[in-house]
Chain A
Amino acid sequence: MAASPTARIGDEELVASAQKGDRRAFEELVERHKQKAYRIAFDFARDREEAKDLSQEAFLKAFTHISRFDGRSGFYTWFYRILVNVCLDYRRRAKRAPAEEYNETVEHQVDPTHVPANPVAPDQHAIAGQLWRRVGAALELLPAKQRTAFILKNHQGLSIREIAETMETAEGTVKVHLHRAVTALRQSLAEFA
């Protein structure tokens, strides 16, 4: 990757420039954080297009509220909370046929240049598709805060304390959300264990 002229500038400086109306500075912040943001959104949406829209929506909210960023935390920490709030509100927009959903979200989302080392057997593939759909459905059935606590812990590996800070709630509440989410998911997915 070629070194960009802004590579040595810290996020704080970019934010300061963005606050003065420098669009290029904000675009550089997007470039720096878009992949992380996208992956987080994908944990929630499990769909490429929707994960892109969600993460972009979070960037737009950060952009329109950049004047409110006070620098007490890093830019990414501040942005992360906006992103999680956008994802927390997320509901799948249009219900698609479950059969095509796995094809679109998993198969077509594999980099076409990537050749798997161990091709998946048809039977394994069918089970993977079934599991993918079942997990998606089970996650959607969870109350928003349980789903969020679960994804932040299970997928993103945040500590209970970090989740509590991000969700602006007590650690005990996060533990309850997590326990309930895990219990519900295990019930939905017991046959795959």
Chain B
Amino acid sequence: MVVRDKPALKACRDLEEDLVLYYYGEVSESARGNCDAHLKNCEACRASLAEMRSLLPMTAAHDEPAQAFWEDYSREMRRKLDAVAESETWWRRIVGLVAPLPVPALATGAVLLLALTLTLTLTLGKGLWRSSTSAPDDEAFMEVLPMAEQLDFFSNMELLDNLDLLETLTGQGNGTA
């Protein structure tokens, strides 16, 4: 075992962030000149940069699956698309009526209301439902729930901003340097 115990090399504190960007080739022209000049005279920062060069490329993961994997992938994907398409076909007819509602909260509310209405419809009009589709009642009802989640998806695209806030809060909480 060649693994040794040693602390991470420390660059000069005020140059630390620039040095990371320097490593990735993301510093401005002036900052690059600054870094170059500093690196000439600072052994600690040179060592820090060398450590990034040896360490960071090793963190990437690579995988080259065989052809059989890709064939399975496509088959499985088609199955999943089938399942989604099937649940969407009848759902679209209903949700089309409330689709113009712009507020996610309203949409979610509408979904729940519809789920409730549907349950009642299914309970009260079982004969009628069965004549138009072969799906068992329970299955049809269960399909409503994932669709409700999907309506929320694009509001989840704003999740990044919420996470930012969360990280700030937890960052303050655990007080890491």
* Residues of A near any B CB (own CB < 8 A): 23, 26-27, 30-31, 34-35, 38-39, 42-43, 46, 48, 51-52, 56, 59-61, 63-65, 68, 81, 85, 88-89, 105, 109-114, 123, 126-127, 130-131, 135, 139, 143-146, 153-155, 159-160, 167-169, 173, 175-176, 178-179, 182-183, 185-187, 189-193
Contacts and interface: CB of A to CB of B under 8 A. Distances in A.
Interface residues of B, number: 55
The prevalent SS among residues of B at the interface is helix
A85 B159 contact: yes
Given A60-B84, A111-B66, A191-B3, A27 B58 contact: no
A190 B66 contact: no
A193 B51 contact: yes
A65 B167 contact: no
10 contacts: A34-B74, A56-B73, A64-B88, A109-B65, A127-B2, A144-B167, A145-B167, A169-B164, A191-B3, A191-B6
Contacts, number: 163
B66 A112 contact: yes
B60 A160 contact: no
Nearest to A124: B2
B154 A130 contact: no
Contacts of A144: 163, 167
B176 to A, nearest CB: 9
B3 A52 contact: no
Nearest to A44: B61
B16 A183 contact: yes
Contacts of A189: 55, 58-59
B1 interface: yes
A111 B65 contact: yes
Interface in B118-177: 150, 153-154, 156-161, 163-164, 167, 170-171
Given A27-B78, A34-B70, A85 B84 contact: no
